[in-house]
Amino acid sequence: MNRLWIENGTFITMDDVKMVVQGHMVVENDRIVYLGEELPEQSLQQQAQRMSGSGLVFMPGLINTHGHAAMSLLRGYSDDEALQVWLEQYMWPMEGKYVDNDTRVGTSLAVIEMLKSGTTTFVDMYDRMDIVAEVVEQSGIRGWLTRGAIGLCSEEEQRQKLEEAINFAKNWNGKADGRIRTLMSPHAPYTCPPAFIEKFVQAAHDLDLPMHTHMSETAAEVEQNVRDYGCRPVEHLDKLGFFSRPSFVAHAVHLTDDEIALLQDRNVGVSHNPASNLKLASGVARVPQLLKAGVTVSLGTDSAASNNNLDLFDEIRLAALIHKGVSGDPTSIPALTALKMGTVYGARTLWQEDEIGTLKVGMKADFIALDVNQPHFFPQSDFISHLVYSGSGRDVRHVWINGRQVVEDGVCTLLDEERILREAQACFKALANG
């Protein structure tokens, strides 16, 4: 048995019952067994590795509910272009050249960046997912993985993609000590014919798996949906049975009040990706209205090609800032709400609220420690405000997932960072010159 006793720390629990605890936490193997102001009882102190929490703030690991890790090789390859130019002239040709090693290295690069900046759980939708799963297994991170399938192809290719998605989902669900979970994901309503989406819904039913997709990212795709199918994307997906499965959608920028009500009624989560939505000029999602309606809203970075970083603290700050500025209401999305979107609401989106996203007894030991002896955290008055409006992934010093320390003093313990950075550079050069 491994037992870790953190002494005299500040714990932001993200649990409304007691949001800030000045005191002690004990972790046994993969679970939190004590968190409180008093010393842990004698039996919990025994044989414990002791660690001083002084100068550190501890909080749940961040949960990134939408992304495409392997695309980190394309960070900064093309910016500030119209969406179709960016996709057709830059992204798709480069992605078309990807070989297995690009996926492995690109995913590893993304996982390093996420771990070091405090993300302990991420959602990944891409192809060659066996490789992604292997990186997740090795790195110690927690991943919800899914083969995202574009259906604009022949029936034979569609069949192959579906089979690949099913096999991946079957083979990897629950693997890596339960750190890997799988989903079924048609890419988006505008890239998948209705019958193709229905086949994914059927497979999700058969395998008893939840679903994830892109939805209503741009005004243009909503218009196209109305033109092609006579209704907006929420109603369209609902008719196809998508929301009969536990599910969450990425982006959801362009929604009517009726669509928000339907998402709430079907208990569909929304992954808000503010940086990507701003950078690609998709617009500003109606997050205050979604939250008010009772929809669970979490945060995603999207890929490093459209962000261009994977630091979820950036998304937390953007979520707290932009909705105030755009709505004209300074009380919109308070700091605590934004921090919940990056933690406990992420856990709720992934149906893991009883396991991750908060620090309390019985929860999985997924947590991070930030160095708060820095000027941007002074005066040390309100750490929730400071984390949201001044914090950054660079402030993260230690990271634990499932009770295992995966970042120590800012360095990944299970991955060879130097080698991965070197390989990422080589892969990019080969792709750019290939």
Which residue in 42, 43, 381, 433 binds its own copies (CB under 8 A)? Answer: 381
For residue 24, the SS3 value is: strand
User: Is residue 89 close enough to count as binding its own copies by CB under 8 A?
Assistant: no
The rounded distance, in Å, linking the Cα atoms of 194 and 23 is 54
User: Is residue 385 close enough to count as binding its own copies by CB under 8 A?
Assistant: yes
Contact partners, residue 359, CB within 8 Å, separation at least 6: 11, 12, 13, 14, 15, 21, 25, 32, 35, 58, 59, 60, 367
Of residues 407-426, those binding its own copies (CB under 8 A): 417, 420-421, 424-425
Q: Is 217 annotated as a binding residue?
A: yes
Identify which range of 35-43, 70-78, 182-190, 203-211 contacts its own copies by CB under 8 A: 70-78
The rounded distance, in Å, linking the Cα atoms of 391 and 314 is 8
User: Is residue 179 close enough to count as binding its own copies by CB under 8 A?
Assistant: no
CB 418, min distance to its own copies, A: 8
User: Is residue 395 close enough to count as binding its own copies by CB under 8 A?
Assistant: yes
Structure tokens at 4: 């870790």
User: Is residue 211 close enough to count as binding its own copies by CB under 8 A?
Assistant: no
For residue 99, the SS3 value is: coil
User: Is residue 102 close enough to count as binding its own copies by CB under 8 A?
Assistant: no
Please name every residue paired with 182 in a beta bridge, in sequence order, or none if there are none: 145
Contact by Cβ (8 Å): 303, 68? yes
- CB-nearer residue toward its own copies: 262 or 431: 431
- DSSP line for 378-394: -S-S-HHHHHHHT--GG
Q: Is 3 annotated as a binding residue?
A: no
Contact by Cβ (8 Å): 232, 225? yes
- CB-nearer residue toward its own copies: 229 or 389: 389
Contact by Cβ (8 Å): 264, 249? no
How is residue 307 annotated by DSSP? S
Q: Is 214 annotated as a binding residue?
A: yes
- CB-nearer residue toward its own copies: 172 or 313: 313
User: Is residue 434 close enough to count as binding its own copies by CB under 8 A?
Assistant: no
Q: Is 418 annotated as a binding residue?
A: no
User: Is residue 432 close enough to count as binding its own copies by CB under 8 A?
Assistant: yes
Which residue in 335, 341, 359, 363 binds its own copies (CB under 8 A)? Answer: 335
- DSSP line for 43-68: HHHTTPEEEE-TTEEEEEPEEE----
Which residue in 13, 247, 308, 402 binds its own copies (CB under 8 A)? Answer: 308
Binding mask 126-165 for its own copies (x = CB under 8 A): ----------------------------------------
Which residue in 44, 278, 293, 414 binds its own copies (CB under 8 A)? Answer: 278
User: Is residue 380 close enough to count as binding its own copies by CB under 8 A?
Assistant: yes
Peptide bond into 233 cis (omega under 30): no
Which residue in 7, 15, 81, 177 binds its own copies (CB under 8 A)? Answer: 81
Number of residues that bind its own copies (CB under 8 A): 72
Please, how many CA atoms are within 13 Å of residue 13, restricted to the half-sphere of its CB? 21
What is the distance, to the nearest Å, from the Cα of residue 11 to the centroid of all Cα atoms in its chain? 22
User: Is residue 311 close enough to count as binding its own copies by CB under 8 A?
Assistant: yes
- CB-nearer residue toward its own copies: 42 or 331: 331
Question: In 3D, which of 86, 90, 11 has the Cα closest to residue 53?
Answer: 11
Structure tokens at 399: 């990271």
The rounded distance, in Å, linking the Cα atoms of 434 and 425 is 14
Q: Is 66 annotated as a binding residue?
A: yes
Question: In 3D, which of 73, 71, 97 has the Cα closest to residue 433?
Answer: 97
Which residue in 20, 389, 405, 414 binds its own copies (CB under 8 A)? Answer: 389
CB 232, min distance to its own copies, A: 19
- CB-nearer residue toward its own copies: 212 or 317: 317
Q: Is 187 annotated as a binding residue?
A: yes
Which residue in 321, 405, 413, 414 binds its own copies (CB under 8 A)? Answer: 321
**Annotated binding-site residue numbers for Zn(2+):** 66, 68, 214, 302
**Annotated binding-site residue numbers for substrate:** 95, 147, 187, 217, 302
**Annotated binding-site residue numbers:** 66, 68, 95, 147, 187, 214, 217, 302
